[in-house]
Amino acid sequence: MTDATHLEASPPPKINQIGMADIFAALRAGWADFRKAPAFGFFFALFFVIGGIALFLELGVMGQSYWIIPVAFGFPFLAPFLAVGLYDVSRRIETGEKLDWAQILGVVVNQKDRQFPSIAMVLIMGFLFWIFVAHIVFMLFMGLQPMTNITSNWQDALLNRSGITMLAVGSAIGAVMAFVAFALTVCSLPMLLDREMDFISAMIHSFQAVLQNLVPMLAWGIIISALLIVGMVPFFLGLFVILPLLGHATWHLYRRVMSFES
């Protein structure tokens, strides 16, 4: 349901077992949706591209461009929430509804009256906590090192025992936090668009779905991470394709994982 005035609670979903074939099928369906409605994909991805470029330039001006790495690791905290418009496009293609700009943007705006602000706050707090943790890890391993300009001389700063240990520990912590964020949101965000449900229940169902389909869901998380890295490398421009693909595919994967009684 996408009507913000519809308050009848949805029944709990049934969690289906999926395999790698479902992952690839969701990717194919996501690509098909992107090809059917590329303008919507480019529009919603534009905010990420502009934001990424602006952040990179700002960190460069401040002489702290190396912080783009932990910020990039925190990307999974925010990307799913901002993909809600792509979920609605896929939903409309699936049901044969008209792809109307005013209606789709209206659905996105109307989420402010539902559960999205609450789950958005959880994601934003998670992102900020990850940035805090990244600073702590940097301080613990590099705080007593001689002052070095990491931006211009990253080899001397990072290719040593302390630097390599810092990268290993930071990557491990970031991977765990990214997995938790992924597990809580991979199904809950499309579910909140599709159904009338409180955000806590939606996150619990999403986490349970990941645990019950751990191998394919881990593979899906790795695919998402790899594609996002590829999309961010060429100055974020690859996100114009990667984000719509992942947004649409996430909707189709949610539809394969979750079933609701009619």
Task: For residue 55, tell me if it sits in a domain.
Answer: yes
> Which tokens belong to 133?
């943790």
Instruction: Give the C-alpha separation, 27 to 250, whole Å.
Output: 8
Considering the domain boundaries, does residue 167 fall inside one? Answer: yes
Please check whether residue 1 lies inside any domain of the structure: no
pLDDT in tens, 213-229: 999 999 999 999 899 88
Number of structural domains in the chain? 1
The reply to whether 7 falls in a domain is no
Work out the mean pLDDT of the chain and round it to a whole number.
Answer: 83
- Inside any domain, residue 67: yes
Angle between helices 239-257 and 84-95 (to 10 degrees): 60
pLDDT mean over 176-202: 91
More confident residue, 24 or 129: 24
The answer to the question of residue 127 being in a domain is yes
> Does the residue 262 lie in any domain?
no
Task: Name the token pair of 46.
Answer: 């534009």
**What's the rounded Cα separation, in Å, for the pair 252 and 246?**
10
pTM over 0.85: no
Mean pLDDT of 101-122: 85
The yes-or-no verdict on residue 191 having pLDDT over 90 is: yes
Cα–Cα dist 107/193, whole Å: 9
Q: Which domain holds residue 85?
A: 17-146+153-257
pLDDT of residue 202: 94
Q: How does pLDDT run across 59-71, given as a tens digit for each residue?
A: 665 555 555 555 6
pLDDT band (50, 70, 90) for residue 30: very high
End-to-end CA distance of the chain: 13
- 11 inside domain: no
DSSP, residue by residue, 124-148: HHHHHHHHHHHHHHHHHHHTTSPP-
